[in-house]
Amino acid sequence: MICKNCGEDLSGDGEKIPFHCINLSEEDWWYEPPDSGPYYCDQYLDDNTDDGFALASAGFGTDEDYGYFGDYD
């Protein structure tokens, strides 16, 4: 199975461990019943990285987050 948000493989077997994205924190699925889920991460695929969305969802800031990093005259 594949995570619908990041495209990584889901781990788990659905019998002893719930299906979960490998990018998801254990706290989000560890105490849930094995037959629950699947649990997906909160990262999103985006083929167009020009707008900074893919970088922002991966944890990297953008110019809009921190201000302009260009030359200041």
The per-residue pLDDT string of the chain (73 residues; one tens digit each, 9 = 90 and over) reads 899 999 999 999 999 999 999 999 999 999 999 999 899 998 876 554 444 444 444 444 444 544 555 555 5
Indicate whether this model's pTM tops 0.75: no
pLDDT at 70: 56
pLDDT at 43: 82
Neighbours of 59 (CB within 10 A): 7
pLDDT at 56: 47
Count CA atoms closer than 13 A to 39's CA, side-chain side.
23
pLDDT at 44: 73
**Domain ranges across the chain:** 1-63
